[in-house]
Amino acid sequence: MPHKIRLTDSFPPVLMLLAALLAGGLNVFAFAPFYVWPLALVSLAVLFALWQSAIALRQAMLIGFSWGMGLFLAGASWLYVALHVYGNMPAPLAALCIFLFCCYLSLYPALACLVAYKFRSRARSTSRPMLALLLIMPACFVATEYLRGWVVTGFPWLITGYSQTPGGWLAAPLAGYAPILGALGISWLLALTAAVLVLLIKALAEPTVFGGRIFAPSVLVVLVWAVGAALAHISWSAPSGQPLSVALVQGNIDQQLKWREDQRAATLDNYFELAQNATARLIVLPETALPVFLDEIPADYLAALKQRAEKNGGDLIMGVPIAQRGHVNEAAYTYVNSAISMGISPPQRYDKVHLVAFGEFIPPLFSWAYNWLNIPLAGFTPGPQTQAPMRVSGHSVAVNICYEDTFGYEIARPLPEAELLINIANMAWYGHSLAAAQHVQFSQMRALETSRWMLRSTNTGVTAAINERGEIVKSLPQFVRGVLIVEAIPRQGATPYVRWREGPVLLGLVIALLASWCMRRQNATK
């Protein structure tokens, strides 16, 4: 009699999908502004336990997909604000776009569960579920997190390792690994810990199967966390001079008003007044602070800003869009999202390299989106991959613009030459959502990885100064107009992460997956 295919053979029970969805949503609370990092372990442990309970390939894949949907619908749906509220996209279409985008992001944890299941199916048949869970699933999960931060320009938002940055009521021991392994390496350690937690629970339920075999992995995880806490006390860089007074300007211009011609003069006056009242040696204005192209700014306005910086004995850095003639066709213009400097140092410029899809450029396959979006300056050209740090106010400063600080390997590029990191951003696009708090957490990780101060000047917040240990030293409240004055400490030296970036972690992932493949082949021949 032929075997009848049951629905549960191909699709997981509804409760399993719901549990995965809720576990993914729970993970959002591990990140800023909540900083409840143990929830990342709980979320991953639920995902891994459900994955190990899967009885079919499709079941494993849908568990990963549901977990991803919970995470991204709860943690990244703030993109709806940019599309609908400020981009004027019709609400149903904006909601559909965000849903489809979250579906795309959820394919990565789905892929992790799918590939891990393929490896596990062989190991499971030879009574090696413990090795499968410890070796395969964490490696697959972290490998797909890496891919998510790289494919189609990358979207490394809510990478699990970011949950270990300082903040909240409970210290995060694994933050000590950031200067060595970066955010991706911390993700792996969290995933490994979650796998051990699952095995501990299984050991209590099935002591005859797991019993004493869980002892060694448990001891290893305890050592990993203890070493992480010890590493947090190591100084990976040293001061390279006296503290530098920095003024971080927050203009608080509503995004609905920012690009209106009748508000242009008021915006120019707003930033001029804030800059004139800043007495620090380095004054920093946010991304596209002035809503006009550089060549449209009155010459006397720029001269007055330069004079203010010179009077302070330093420089001013300002975000501004620039229109420049093409090299081949002088009648054609390209547009760059830039930061320029003026003051006692020679004029310098940084052009944003990593542009935001749909915000700063439209991928060719989606050119139709122009018909539905009203986003000013959505046709930027990326700057050169390699740009020298600015030499301002007597120090070497590496500038990055907005979204760029979510890419650790790019922030590390101008180091160890750069003594300070500066991020200028305009988070007004996302309103009163989680986006701004999550973004400042990524800056915290960059400070940890590079052992440098990260200074953030934003339009509506979070404007903050972060020290080399990833701690927020001072910040302004969101949606207020003001200037944050801070004494930043320039630093020198190169952390292991700056030297090798993701190299050691990627090598480890390749070794783990190769070992899993060899184990699978060995089992297949038995």
Within 8 A by CB and 6+ apart from 88, the residues are 373, 374
Whether residue 412 contacts residue 450, with contact meaning beta carbons closer than 8 Å, is answered with: yes
Is residue 113 annotated as a catalytic residue, yes or no?
A: no
Is residue 352 annotated as a catalytic residue, yes or no?
A: yes
Helix (H) or strand (E) segment spanning residue 78: none
Give, as one character, the DSSP assignment of residue 30: G
Task: Identify the residue whose tokens are 């006692």.
Answer: 344
Is residue 402 annotated as a catalytic residue, yes or no?
A: yes
SS3 116: helix
Helix axes 57-75, 38-53, angle to 10 degrees: 160
**Annotated active-site residue in 402, 404, 468, 502:** 402
Give, as one character, the DSSP assignment of residue 248: E
Distances (CA, A) of 329 to 321, 325, 334: 20, 8, 10
Q: What sign results for the dihedral spanned by CA atoms 301, 258, 363, 440?
A: positive
Task: Identify the residue whose tokens are 């242009």.
Answer: 264
**Annotated active-site residue in 97, 113, 258, 287:** 287
Core vs surface per residue 421-430: b (16+ CB within 10 A) or e: bbbbbbbbbb
Distances (CA, A) of 298 to 265, 268, 292, 303, 305: 11, 10, 10, 9, 11
Bridge partner list, 475:
464
**Annotated active-site residue in 140, 258, 352, 468:** 352
| % helix, strand, coil for the chain, step of 5 | 55, 15, 30
Of 499, 442, 468, whose CA–CA distance to 240 is shortest?
Answer: 468
Helix (H) or strand (E) segment spanning residue 220: helix 215-231
Whether residue 439 contacts residue 472, with contact meaning beta carbons closer than 8 Å, is answered with: no
Instruction: Name the residues annotated as catalytic.
Output: 287, 352, 402
